[in-house]
Amino acid sequence: MSKTYNKGDKPGGHPLPFQCVVLDAPETIKNPFSGESIELQPDAVAVYDNIMGAQLLAEKVSPTDGGHKLWDTVRKGCDWFRQYYAKEYMVLLD
């Protein structure tokens, strides 16, 4: 089951940096480069998925221009991870 939350909502106790669809259960996520895995809480999974999707699209539409609005999503999501899930950030996004 999933639910859509708005920016600032706190489904996991932390205010979300942008609108997200949050599932009910934690998930284990694997870093595609290092192969290292870590379990994320549902709110963190939602933010991670948004970061990865925005990065993929931003690289296609604006590979050399970090000013595209999709890059803002990536930056906001990474800042959120560093603040609330620092260990998980280091495994997956650093």
pLDDT score at 62: 77
Q: What pLDDT, on the 0 to 100 scale, is given for residue 1?
A: 87
Three-state DSSP at 1 gives coil
Apex CA 92: angle with CA 49 and CA 50, to 5°?
Answer: 15
CA distance to 20, 57, 76, per residue, from 51 (Å): 11, 10, 9
Residue 88, SS3?
A: helix
Average pLDDT, the chain: 94
Residues of the chain with pLDDT under 70: 65
pLDDT for the residue 68 = 83
